[in-house]
């Protein structure tokens, strides 16, 4: 079994919306959110992080504080939103309401123009988690990542239908725990 604590990055300088592959920095509030979430660190065997700075900068600081090795893992970065990168849903509601509605109701069936298909994102993220399990079973890891990655993993752990993916709520700086055993994910309410 692998215990995987999930930590979403905090608030970013350019605010909400579809940040995707954009490499935003954390605001002072974002740093505060993440420090608060890790105020009482676990004895993590390693800290795994998305290479995007809104995750990696804090992960580096935390790895120093906890004396835990840091591994940057490309495959746990956020979904790439294509032409929607950097835009807010309120903007898209004006210009592309139908497309945005299709994405919200069926994210697997509709991909933002120029974006990464959700099936590809899912394979990438679940493949990375499977590899962590194969290499690090028996360990307790912290994964510093993004809202989309956490939604996917939590939806799987909760046994939700694919269409319910975007109904999973994950706040900035939120920390949750899942366990992985023989490819099965389960949420831990410890």
Active-site positions read 9, 78
> Three-state secondary structure along 23-42?
CCCECHHHHHHHHHHCCCCC
Positive or negative CA dihedral for 153, 158, 159, 161?
Answer: negative
**Residues 6 or more apart whose Cβ sits within 8 Å of residue 125:** 75, 76, 149, 152, 153
Strand-by-strand arrangement of the 175-181 sheet: 70-72, 46-49, 140-145, 2-8, 175-181, 184-188
């Amino acid at each position: 079994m692998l215990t995987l604590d999930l930590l979403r990055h905090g608030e970013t300088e350019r605010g909400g919306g579809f940040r995707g592959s954009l490499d935003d920095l954390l605001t002072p509030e974002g740093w505060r959110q993440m420090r608060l979430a890790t105020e009482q660190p676990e004895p993590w065997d390693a800290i795994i992080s998305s290479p995007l700075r809104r995750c990696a900068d804090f992960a580096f600081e935390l790895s120093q504080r906890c004396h835990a090795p840091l591994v940057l893992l490309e495959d746990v970065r956020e979904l790439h939103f294509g032409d929607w990168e950097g835009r807010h849903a309120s903007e898209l509601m004006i210009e592309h309401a139908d497309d945005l509605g299709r994405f919200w109701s069926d994210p697997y069936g509709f991909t933002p123009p120029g974006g990464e298909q959700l099936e590809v994102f899912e394979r990438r993220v679940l493949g990375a988690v499977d590899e962590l399990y194969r290499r690090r079973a028996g360990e307790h890891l912290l994964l510093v990542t993004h809202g989309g990655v956490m939604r996917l993993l939590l939806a799987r752990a909760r046994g939700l239908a694919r269409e319910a993916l975007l109904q999973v709520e994950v706040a900035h700086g939120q920390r949750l725990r899942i366990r992985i055993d023989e490819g099965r994910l389960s949420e831990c309410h410890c």
